[in-house]
Every structure is written in C-alpha cells, then in structure tokens.
Structure 1
Amino acid sequence: MTLQRESATSLYEQIAQQLLTEIQQGQFGALGKLPSESELVERFEVSRVTIRLALAKLGDDGVVERKQGKGTFVAAQQVRHDLDALRSFHDSLVLQGLKPSMKMLGQRIVEVPEELAQLFSGQCVNVDRLHIVDDEPIAFARSYLTAELADVDWHAAAQEPLYSVLERITGKPVSRADMAIRAREADKTLAQHLGVKRGTALLVMQRTSWFDDQQCCDRTTFYIRPERYEFVLSGVFKTRQA
C-alpha cells in the first residue's frame, strides 16, 4: 500500500484502514497476531507515534487487543480446545485450520515418579515437546508414557501426535481421557521455553489417557500461553420428566 500523504485523511487513519482490510482477509494467521510496532514503522515509513495512533484506533473500534509485553492481536480470535471431544492437543489445532508444528526438547526412560505410581509400574517414557503455531510457542508439554514406547525414535516422530504414536506402536486406540485445568505462574524453565517473562500466568491442562483395557498410556501436562487460547465445553441438558 502507498500512503496518500497529501490526502485529507490522516496517515494513521489510512494505516488503520489498511490493517483492517488485511485482518478481514485473514492475513495475520489463526492466532491473529499483528506485526510489531517496529515492523509497521518500517513497512509504512512513518513514525512510531503514527503507528500507535493507528493501533489505538483499531483498539477503540474493538478490532484489536493490545497485550502488554506480548503484542497486538485480532480481537476475539482465539485458539479453542473442545474438552468434550477425544483428540490430541495437536489435532485440535489442525482442525481449526492452523499449521502447528512440534519441537522435540528431550526424551528418556525413567523410573515412574512417585506421584504416578498408581498409573504406571516400573519404568515409563518421559518426552518433552514444544507446540508451535505461526512460529511462536503456544504450549510446552511434558509426557509420561507407557514403557511400550521405549524404542520410539522421537526425533523422527517429532511432528506426530502422541495419540497416533500410541496407536501405531501398541495397536490399541486411546479410548478415554480425563482432563484437569488449573493455572500457575511460569518458572524460569517454562518462561524460556514459551518466550514469556518469569511469573507470567499460564493455563495448565493435565491429561490422563487410557486404552480400552483400562491401562493408562499417557499422562501429559500442557503449560499453555493463555492470551490466545480458550477451553470450551458443550453441555446438553435433558428435559426433566414430571
């Protein structure tokens, strides 16, 4: 876009209109994050004050939301995770038209942690992965898995959802998952993985998955950046009989 610098319409209003058009065309990805102020300054060749006025106008119009220290996002454009459907975290992103990726951070065989003694026995597989959308980390996942997955080449399977790996290796589909949601602050390690400040509030989803024979196959804890993420649960109410 070429700004009309002699126009009666101010530069910031022209920029706001151009960004609005691009938002309506879906040009800022499913997470809806706009370029930084510096990138917009360079693109439009205007001052930072002009860019801030343009973003402020979009904010006043309810088009964007500005998150301190995080950037500017398209308003109400959130990643959703339906709690009433049995699917992996990765698959829930794909179904929304996103193109997520995963980064392998570590894998090892470990003795079952004391707090998981009722779920596994002997040893289990510990896998850490980072979920990424639009080149930004959205969640850090730490998984403890059945020892049947001990020989998996996790680097080769880095982009494969855990449920797919479980079914491919064991021949048994996951039939049930229990989930609990809470909040916590990011410690130093989580802050580094997710690109946030230490102490930032995170959503935490703990998922325990089971095969049809009631064998626990997965305990994964997801630490999620909350500014663009929401959990959804649909309820169906039956009419009470008199």
Structure 2
Amino acid sequence: MPDALFSAYLEPNDPTPLYLQVGHHISGLIGKDERFMDRLPSEAELCRLYGVSRITVRQALSYLAKRDVIVRQHGRGTFVGAVHRPGRQKTIHSFFEILADKGLRPRMTLLDYRLQPAPEDVARGFGEQGDVLFIRRGYRSAEGPLGVTEVFYPGHLAKMVTPELAGSKTSSTILKDIFKFQISHADISIGLTQAADDVSEWLNIARGSVLLKIKRVTACKGQGICEYSRLLVTEGAADFQIKADGEMLSEGMLHD
C-alpha cells in the first residue's frame, strides 16, 4: 500500500511526467530522510512508497543517475552519488572564477542588495537577530543566463560592502579581501528547489521551474559562521567533483 506522504506529492494530472515527479521528490529526500542517506530503498520498496509501476521507478532512477545524483550498482543497489552527499570544504571557489576557467567570459550583474530580517536558519547560524545583508547576483555569457547566487552576511558587516562592491566582487573575494577573514571551512549541501519569480525571470525559464540548489555555509576563523550562500542553476548545468581534500573541481558550471 502506498505511503500517503509519498503518494500525496504526485499529481497525475500535472503536465510533468510521473517519473520526473518521483525523481524530483527522491532528490529532495536525499540527506534529509533516513531512508535516503547513503543508500536508497529498493525498486520494489519505491514502487510501494509512491504507488507507481516499476517502469516509472526505473525511469526516475535513470533520470537521477544521468545527473550523478545517484549511482546504480548491479547486484548491490542504488546509492547516493558522492558529490550529492553533504560535504565540507576547506577551500571555496567563486562561480565567476569557475565559469571563467571554462572560457565562458561571464558577466556578473547585481540583481538585489538590501538589509532584511534574517531567515530563521541564517539568524541561527549567525547567532544574532536583526537585519542581515542580502545580495543576489546574476551571471550570464554571450550564450545566455548561467545562474543566480544569493548571499547573506551578518548585519554588522553590511557597511563594509557597498552596492558597487557587491556588483563587482565575488563572495570569496569579499570574505578574503574586504573583510580580511581567514576561512576555516565551508559546509556544502545540494538539492532541488523551485524558481521564484525574480530568479525565473533572470534565467528566462518558466515560473516554478526546478533548479539545482547548492547551499554553502562558510565559517571563518575567530568569527564563526560568516556567510550563507546558495547557487541556483537549471538542471544539468552544473557538473563538478569534490576531491578528498575538499577542493572543488568543475567539469561544467558551478559555484559562488
């Protein structure tokens, strides 16, 4: 019998194919649901949970495998892809730098700059209430839009980052050269999200389209959490590897 929490997510009348709905839901569960941490449930169990056919489940898993979200091992089962597990880096790299290394000649545009109340998770990480600085940047090349980054800084640092700086300097440059902080580590998590109106407008995609979301929480020595950032790109636009020492290598487009 289907699990109500799983089957309720599916919309049979939605134009999105059923296998994509299942695939998107599975991706959102990775690292959050104890059944979707290192290893996924069997095909038979997924069929039961979602109340769908084995063909639908196999199509969903093939979709995720092509995007390296999961790895299917014959005779062993289905496992979470290595780069889609929560991870920790000791070095951070800007989305702009990685795009430039790929010869894409990116242009960075400041889309939003304002002080605003901190979202709950950001306030908890910064350990302070009140306003935080929010910066949104868009990246594009001659071929079109590439991605959007959203960054939060503690409010007491806002006076050090003018709109001019926010529109011309990457987040890693601001941390190192403007704040003069020494990075301790950065925790990375990866999932899917739906595009908000302003983000979808910049990326020239339909409202509510599925985006790959890469969240980075950066800690600096003597400062604690000093930055929250997230990169939003369309599916398939980001391919990368994380080496054993935490350094990120791009094979496509990635991170700010």
- Shorter chain as denominator, the TM-score bin is 0.5 to 0.7
Shift of 1:154: 2.1
Where does residue 147 of structure 2 map in the other structure?
A: 139
Q: What is aligned with 1:94?
A: 100
The alpha carbon displacement at 1:100 in A equals 1.5
Matched letter for residue 178 of structure 1: D
Question: Percent identity over the alignment?
Answer: 23
- Secondary structure of the equivalent of 2:114? strand
Match status 1:194 vs 2:200: no
| Mapping of residues 64-75 of structure 1, within 5 Å | none
User: Which residue in 2 is equivalent to 1:232?
Assistant: 241
Question: Which structure 2 residues correspond to residues 114-133 of structure 1 after superposition, within 5 A?
Answer: 114-120=120-126, 121-122=128-129, 123-133=131-141
- C-alpha distance in 2, partners of 1:188/1:111? 20
Contact 2:135-2:166 within 8 A present in 1 as well: no
Q: Distance in 1 between matches of 2:218 and 2:244?
A: 22
Partner of 2:110: 104
Match of 1:212 among 196, 221, 236: 221
Letter in 2 for 1:213: G
User: Could you tell me the TM-score, scaled by structure 2's length?
Assistant: 0.54
Q: In the alignment, is the contact (CA less than 8 A) between 2:154 and 2:227 conserved in 1? A: yes
Query: Over the residues paired in the alignment, what is the CA RMSD in angstroms?
Result: 2.6
Q: Give the aligned partner of residue 179 of structure 2.
A: 170
- Partner secondary structure for residue 155 of structure 1: helix
Shift of 1:153: 1.6
Asked if 1 retains the 8 angstrom alpha-carbon contact of 2:136 and 2:149, the reply is: yes
Shift of the alpha carbon at 1:235?
4.7
1:179 to 158, 181, 188: 188
Give the C-alpha shift of residue 211 in structure 1. 0.6
Tell me if the contact between 2:219 and 2:225 (Cα under 8 Å) persists in the aligned partners.
Answer: yes
State the shift of 1:113 in Å: 2.0
Q: Is the 8 A contact 1:93 1:100 kept in 2?
A: yes
Please state whether the residue corresponding to 2:125 is helix, strand or coil: coil
Could you tell me which runs of 5 or more consecutive residues in structure 1 were left unpaired when the two chains were aligned.
1-82, 237-242
- Give the Cα separation in 2 of the matches to 1:159 and 1:185: 27
Aligned residues: 156
Cα separation, 1, equivalents of 2:186 and 2:224: 12
